[in-house]
Structure 1
Amino acid sequence: MTMWRGTKPLILASQSRARQALLANAGIAFEAIPAELDERAIQRASGLSAPGQIAALLAREKAVSVSLRRPGQFVVGADQTLALDQRLFSKPAGRAQAAEQLRALAGQSHELYSATAVARDGEILFEDVSIARMTMRPLDGAVIRAYLDAAGEAVTTSVGAYQLEGLGIHLFERIEGDHFTILGLPLLPLLKFLRSQGLLQ
């Protein structure tokens, strides 16, 4: 069943399975086309340091890049940054870096900034940044090793080395924020925009 009213599918400029599942479950006809940008180079060149601004910039860049390849179609770009005080986190490069990130986050509260942007023909039509506050429970070395063993390679696919929709839920004692924001696509403001364009029932 679909709720989509557009003559062409929505384009999601992301390889994220979580984001794709959110759109599919919402009954939106979409096609996933990754932007394939050097995100760290874009971030460095921007000079930005605020996590929300970085997420918003990358979401816009992804949406614009793919929209230029798909004339006339609505393209959704999304990005997520994780900040613990002044430290920004990226996806861990491997198990050792994942363990280091978990040690830093354990027993602390951090913020997830999830940005989304919609572009058509290179023009940004909509953008939003939503925030979730996550409190990780204290974790000792044995717990971190057990989690890394169980989660496997999945820890390298998400910032902070966790996926809340999977085994990562065991790491937390409190979560404040929208579930969609945590999964990396603030869905409610996006749906509102798409309805305003006559693309949803």
Structure 2
Amino acid sequence: MTLVLASGSGIRAELLKNAGLAIEVDPADIDERAVEAPLLEAGFPPEDLAAILAEAKANEVSGRRSGDLVIGADQILAFKGERRTKPEDMEAARRQLLAFSGKTHELLSAVVISRNGEAVWRHVSTARLTMRDLTPEFIGRYLAAAGDDVLSSVGAYQLEGIGVQLFEKIDGDYFTILGLPMLPLLNRLRALGVIET
């Protein structure tokens, strides 16, 4: 049985490999916005959006990989009850960080394990992150230092790098913030016999 990550996320692959897992990377081929559109229209909460997207990814890959265990993941940023997406450009990142300044937002990270096209386990973890009061000047310096990498992150930051300077307080699991709730996932993989206890 092969353990497969249905994501092209370098950080997720690194987290799994650093935990000692042998994985194959096989990104899902789904249109996330098309999956999401009817859910948003129906008013699904952010945690459900994350879980459904993670499951769609895991099921798509496991449907073409008979017998393999496939890990799908998704992360949603919720701010004032609304879902936020990755900024399109540096100006959008600047506006987003100004909006977050001095306020709290949530990162909801979902992980799903599927086999033969069906989910066998689901989990969603939430982290609450409070940014310190940021001046426009600091945001400009931060974006110049961080560069275009911020555009690959839903929050316009990467906590494992210079983005840590944006925050005053964090409630939640570090791995949840990085986009893969590792501790619940490892517990389930042990229960499934993938990892020796």
Distance 1:84 1:10, change over 3 A: same
What value does the CA root-mean-square deviation take over the aligned residues?
Answer: 1.0
Partner amino acid, structure 2, of 1:187:
M
Q: How does 1:1-201 map to 2 (within 5 A)?
A: 8-46=1-39, 47-201=42-196
Partner amino acid, structure 2, of 1:170:
Q
| Conserved? CA contact 1:48–1:54, under 8 Å | no
Identical-residue share of aligned pairs (%): 51
| Conserved? CA contact 2:64–2:117, under 8 Å | no
TM-score of the pair, normalised by structure 1: 0.94
The runs of 5 or more residues in structure 1 that have no matched partner are 1-7
TM-score of the pair, normalised by structure 2: 0.95
| Conserved? CA contact 1:132–1:177, under 8 Å | yes
How far off its partner does 1:71 sit? Answer: 1.0
How far off its partner does 1:36 sit? Answer: 2.8
Distance 1:76 1:48, change over 3 A: farther
Cα distance in 2 for residues equivalent to 1:163 and 1:48 = 28
How far off its partner does 1:48 sit? Answer: 4.1
Instruction: Report the equivalent of 1:4.
Output: none
Cα distance in 1 for residues equivalent to 2:76 and 2:168 = 20
The total of aligned residue pairs comes to 194
Partner amino acid, structure 2, of 1:176:
D
- 1:175 match: secondary structure: strand
